[in-house]
Amino acid sequence: MRDLSMHITDIVQNSVRAKAKLIQLTIEEKGEWLVFTFEDDGTGMDAETVKKVTDPFYTSRTTRKVGLGLPLFKQNAELTGGTLEIYSQLGEGTTVKADFGKDHIDRPPMGDLKSTVAMLITGNPEVDMVFTYRTKDDEFRLDSREVKEVLDGMDIRMPQVTSFLKEMIDENLKEIKADL
Ligand SMILES: Nc1ncnc2c1ncn2[C@@H]1O[C@H](COP(=O)(O)OP(=O)(O)OP(=O)(O)O)[C@@H](O)[C@H]1O
Ligand SMILES: [Mg+2]
């Protein structure tokens, strides 16, 4: 079974493939809900594609007939009483929003969130990412543009950067008492 971090990788890779320059991932603990919002400025989809996209027999990739990233994410959200919605405009970008019943017995575990976020940032050096985790009273925000600024021209793909980011994300999520 896919944990939530694996779903995050899937959905962010869709945005990367759609040539996004900026991807914003927000995770929010909102009462009984765990809300994931992915916002990108990639190619977007037309209305017909948006309609088809949560249907497992639709994909625009030619190498494979069945796209599963969005349908599986949607199915897992719905199994916890939640929903998945897509807002997209051709040439503008795409927003994917999924609510999971936070304490529902069928909610997949978060998985390795710190490594996932660190790898998505360092593995896609040409894309900027803003990761936000919000609890009821607090918030942690990581902007890859600030990381790149600190690196001052050094390659973000260096393994030390990934370990540094992992540790930094871990410490901050503990600090804000994220319920992982
Ligand atoms: N952020 C996005 N921007 C533009 N198009 C998107 C975006 N996300 C998904 N799509 C479109 O929706 C299709 C379905 O996405 P989905 O993740 O379900 O499957 P896939 O990416 O084709 O295959 P898989 O995820 O199984 O490798 C994609 O092929 C793409 O055409
Ligand atoms: Mg996909």
> How many CB atoms sit inside 10 A of residue 167's CB?
12
Query: How far is Cα 7 from Cα 12, in angstroms, rounded to an integer?
Result: 9
95 DSSP β-pair partners: 39, 87
Q: Is the CB of 9 under 6 A from ligand 1?
A: no
Catalogue all structural domains in the chain, each as residue range(s) with its CATH number: 4-175 (3.30.565.10)
pLDDT tens, position by position, 126-167? 999 999 999 999 999 999 999 999 999 889 999 999 999 999
**Closest ligand (CA of 15):** 1
CA 76 to centroid of ligand 1, rounded, Å: 17
Give the pLDDT score at 61: 62
Give the pLDDT score at 53: 84
Give yes or no for residue 108 having a pLDDT over 90.
Answer: yes
Ramachandran angles phi, psi of 94, nearest 5°: -140, 140
- Paired sense of beta strands 139-143 and 128-134, if any: antiparallel
Region for residue 6 given its phi and psi (left: phi exceeds 0; alpha: psi -120 to 50; beta: otherwise): alpha
Q: Is the CB of 69 under 6 A from ligand 1?
A: yes
Q: Is the CB of 24 under 6 A from ligand 1?
A: no
Sheet of 33-40, strands arranged across: 84-89, 93-101, 33-40, 22-30, 128-134, 139-143
Give yes or no for residue 52 having a pLDDT over 90.
Answer: no
Percent of all residues in the chain with a pLDDT value above 90, rounded to a whole number: 85
The H or E element spanning position 122 is helix 113-123
Residue 57's pLDDT band (boundaries 50, 70, 90)?
Answer: low
The type of residue at 20 is A
Cβ burial 72-97 (10 Å sphere, 16+ → b, else e): bbbebbbebebebebebeeeebbbbb
Give the pLDDT score at 56: 63
Give the pLDDT score at 21: 98
| pTM to 2 decimal places | 0.94
CA 123 to centroid of ligand 2, rounded, Å: 16
CA 53 to centroid of ligand 2, rounded, Å: 10
Q: Is the CB of 60 under 6 A from ligand 1?
A: yes
Give yes or no for residue 32 having a pLDDT over 90.
Answer: yes
Residue 62's pLDDT band (boundaries 50, 70, 90)?
Answer: low
